[in-house]
């Protein structure tokens, strides 16, 4: 069950994003308050002017004095309000920008375990909705909320000065009105929360479908995908209609309450004028101030839906941001150099009930070439992810020289490692930019060498714009094998000390894969860790480990493993038989 999101927490979350500008926010809010309070004076002065014309006993100078006061208070109030609103709008734009940037930074910093818990589209919808609704909330605060609240408090003070019965009636009116607002808003808040979740689900599914459109078309799932989106959007429409019905019912009730109390006000004011207690001028003041109360309550009624939406968005956004685990690297050091990496009794699982790696022990020496063999699900990719510090072991230690991996800053560790996964992610950029994105350096010699070693230069020659050819979103304009060549080129251009290839040549033909592997074997001062589906590419490795169910069951050179005639030997024989057939 989702925890209730209180108004107190909502206000705290709002000020969390205001924190960097709190002093300015408070200062300009005070200026806005002063302007609004000064703006309450003109109706009082106008009442005195009306009384002056009805009973002209104070002389024309008194009229001039009142007129100057009316103009001065109007201009000062307007100037303070305009100035403070302008400054608060500037602050609002800055805070909105900071909110989006900081939220994106926080999402990027989240661990892979956290990233896998929710669709990317859902996360983006929650952040985008929160950022937009923060801007709406600031707009409401600046242009309506602050002004109406301060005006209402000022009106209550003035009514208390003129007569206790008017204050009591006003307070009863406000409490009655706001009580029914609260009842209806509670129901609408629940509907809005359901609507937010429905929108996130629809957005997440749409993002997922659009990002895998090639697969959907190849499997003939267009109709199924359309039905799924139609169903989600139909649910959104039903919730919107349900919220509109609740809003309409609320409008009828609060309009009746407002009309009833206005009639009572007119009755009391009219009675006091007839008795000579109030003047015609004061009657005008009461009508004007009651209108201000009406504007405040109309704002509450009309804008409460927006506030409910904003609160729901904040709840969803802050819930997402709070769920991101903090990666604590206090006291961690940069990895300047290394000689040896040791996995000692390492166990790890993506959930508590399943262990992918079990008592994993391995020593990696600098400059060593290591092959990794095992069927799908044996733990090869998990081993690489632990080495990249994308996850931390649940048991055992990963030690680099004499330091645990937890004591080493992840950024400095990644500086030492270049990683090429099986499914290479490419950006909608040129080949050149996709390769060079891995390093800030602009080295033409290194760039050409990385293209040559990975045989990407052969791909470039076939393209109309050579290495300036734009690849399309996720590299849709080239084949899987060509993507892998560019992925390897990108890793080589980064020029890290450790190069990890995780089935990175699986989409290449045998001859191309062999050529690239031979080129990689010639690299100097590199630690090479290769997982490959063709065992023949691992013949020149210094050491090969055979993984099964997260445990190393065989280890040795290519010749040693064949000589031992264990599982690696059987797999080798099986591959040879397949090749003959």
Query: Where residue 344 falls among pLDDT bands split at 50, 70, 90?
Result: very high
What is the per-residue pLDDT for 251?
Answer: 81
Query: Where residue 218 falls among pLDDT bands split at 50, 70, 90?
Result: low
Q: What would the mean pLDDT of 158-186 be, rounded to a whole number?
A: 81
Task: Copy the structure tokens of residue 541.
Answer: 């490795």
Query: Where residue 79 falls among pLDDT bands split at 50, 70, 90?
Result: very high
For the chain, give the mean pLDDT: 82
Give the pLDDT confidence of 255-294 residue by residue, as tens digits: 888 788 878 877 887 788 788 777 777 777 777 777 777 7
Between 25 and 140, name the one with better pLDDT.
25
Query: Where residue 529 falls among pLDDT bands split at 50, 70, 90?
Result: very high
Give the pLDDT confidence of 490-518 residue by residue, as tens digits: 888 888 889 998 888 888 888 888 888 88
Task: Copy the structure tokens of residue 411.
Answer: 């950024």
What is the per-residue pLDDT for 24?
Answer: 92
Task: Copy the structure tokens of residue 412.
Answer: 């400095």
Query: Where residue 86 falls among pLDDT bands split at 50, 70, 90?
Result: very high
Does the pLDDT of residue 1 top 50, yes or no? no
pLDDT-wise least confident of 85-89, 191-195, 234-238, 298-302: 298-302
How many residues in the chain? Answer: 581
Contact 112, 390 (CB under 8 A): yes
Q: What are phi and psi of 84, to 5 degrees?
A: -65, -35
- H/E/C letters for each residue in 406-428? HHECHHHHHHCEEEECCCCCCCC
Task: Copy the structure tokens of residue 463.
Answer: 């393209």
Contact 481, 513 (CB under 8 A): no
Does the pLDDT of residue 129 top 60, yes or no? yes
Within 10 A of 107 (CB to CB), how many other CB atoms are there? 18
DSSP letter string, 146-215: HHHHHHHHHHHHHHHHH-HHHHHHHHHHHHHHHHHHHHHHHHHHHHHHHHHHHHHHHHHHHHHHHHTHHH
Q: What would the mean pLDDT of 426-450 be, rounded to a whole number?
A: 85
What is the per-residue pLDDT for 54?
Answer: 75
Within 10 A of 477 (CB to CB), how many other CB atoms are there? 14
Contact 250, 301 (CB under 8 A): yes
Whether CATH 3.40.50.300 fits 340-580: yes
State if pTM tops 0.85. Answer: no
What is the per-residue pLDDT for 368?
Answer: 92
Give the pLDDT confidence of 381-402 residue by residue, as tens digits: 889 888 988 888 888 999 999 8
Q: What are phi and psi of 361, to 5 degrees?
A: -125, 125
Task: Copy the structure tokens of residue 59.
Answer: 């002389």
Task: Copy the structure tokens of residue 212.
Answer: 């895998």
Q: What would the mean pLDDT of 169-191 be, rounded to a whole number?
A: 82
* Interior angle at CA 307, CA 201 and CA 31, nearest 5: 140
* CATH of region 7-323, choose from 1.10.3720.10, 1.20.140.10, 3.30.70.330, 1.20.1560.10: 1.20.1560.10
What is the per-residue pLDDT for 211?
Answer: 67
List the one residue out of 505, 42, 489 whose CA is nearest residue 288.
Answer: 42
Query: Where residue 421 falls among pLDDT bands split at 50, 70, 90?
Result: confident
Q: What would the mean pLDDT of 148-172 be, rounded to a whole number?
A: 81
Task: Say if strands 395-400 and 403-404 run parallel, antiparallel, or are unpaired.
Answer: antiparallel
d(CA 451, CA 106): 35
Radius of gyration in angstroms for the set of CA atoms belonging to the chain, rounded to a whole number: 35
Domain boundaries, the chain: 7-323, 340-580
Contacts of 281 (CB under 8 A, 6+ apart): 46, 47, 48, 49, 50, 51, 54
């Amino acid at each position: 069950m989702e925890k209730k999101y209180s108004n107190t927490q909502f206000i705290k979350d709002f000020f969390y994003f205001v924190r960097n500008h709190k002093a300015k926010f408070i200062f300009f809010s005070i200026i806005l308050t002063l302007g609004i309070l000064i703006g309450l004076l003109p109706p009082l002065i106008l009442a005195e002017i009306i009384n002056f014309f009805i009973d002209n006993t104070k002389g024309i100078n008194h009229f001039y004095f009142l007129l100057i006061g009316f103009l001065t208070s109007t201009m000062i109030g307007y100037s303070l309000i305009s100035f403070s609103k302008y400054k608060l709008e500037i602050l609002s734009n800055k805070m909105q920008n900071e909110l989006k940037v900081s939220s994106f930074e926080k999402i990027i910093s989240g661990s892979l375990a956290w990233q896998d818990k929710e669709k990317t589209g859902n996360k983006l919808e929650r952040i985008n909705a929160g950022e937009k609704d923060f801007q709406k909330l600031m707009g409401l605060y600046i242009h309506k909320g602050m002004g109406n609240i301060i005006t209402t408090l000022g009106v209550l003070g003035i009514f208390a000065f003129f007569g206790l019965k008017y204050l009591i009636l006003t307070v009863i009116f406000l409490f009655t009105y706001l009580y029914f607002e609260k009842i209806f808003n509670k129901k609408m808040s629940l509907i809005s929360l359901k609507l937010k979740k429905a929108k996130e689900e629809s957005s997440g599914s749409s993002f997922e479908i659009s990002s895998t459109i090639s697969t959907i078309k190849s499997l003939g799932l267009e109709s199924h995908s359309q039905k799924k989106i139609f169903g989600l959007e139909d649910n959104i429409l039903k919730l919107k209609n349900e919220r509109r019905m609740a809003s309409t019912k609320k409008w009828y009730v609060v309009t009746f309450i407002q009309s009833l109390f206005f009639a009572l006000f007119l009755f009391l004011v009219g009675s006091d004028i007839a008795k000579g207690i109030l003047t015609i001028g004061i009657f005008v003041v009461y009508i004007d101030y009651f209108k201000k109360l009406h504007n405040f309550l109309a704002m509450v009624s009309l804008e409460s839906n927006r506030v409910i939406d904003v609160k729901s968005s904040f709840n969803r956004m802050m819930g997402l941001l709070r769920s991101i685990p903090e990666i604590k690297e206090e006291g961690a050091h940069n990895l300047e150099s290394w000689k040896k990496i040791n996995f000692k009794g390492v166990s790890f699982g993506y959930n508590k009930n399943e262990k992918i790696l079990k008592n994993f022990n391995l020593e990696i020496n600098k400059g060593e070439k290591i092959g990794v063999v095992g069927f799908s699900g044996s733990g090869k990719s998990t081993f690489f992810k632990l080495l990249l510090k994308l996850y931390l072991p649940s048991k055992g230690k990963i030690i680099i020289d004499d330091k645990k991996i937890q004591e080493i800053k992840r950024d400095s560790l990644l500086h030492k490692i270049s990683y090429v996964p099986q499914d290479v992610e490419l950006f909608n950029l040129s080949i050149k930019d996709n390769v060079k994105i891995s390093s800030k350096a602009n080295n033409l010699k290194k760039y050409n060498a990385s293209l040559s070693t990975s045989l990407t230069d052969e791909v470039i020659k076939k393209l109309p714009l050579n290495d300036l050819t734009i690849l399309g979103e996720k590299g849709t304009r080239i084949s899987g094998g060509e993507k892998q060549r560019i992925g390897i080129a990108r890793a080589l251009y980064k020029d890290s000390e450790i190069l990890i290839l995780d089935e990175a040549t699986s989409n290449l033909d045998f001859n191309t894969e062999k050529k690239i592997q031979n080129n990689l074997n010639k690299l100097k001062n590199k630690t090479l860790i290769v997982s490959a589906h063709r065992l023949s590419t691992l013949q020149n490795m210094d050491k090969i480990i055979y993984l099964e169910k997260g445990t190393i069951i065989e280890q040795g050179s290519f010749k040693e493993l064949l000589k031992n005639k264990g599982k690696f030997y059987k797999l080798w024989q099986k591959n040879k038989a397949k090749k003959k057939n």
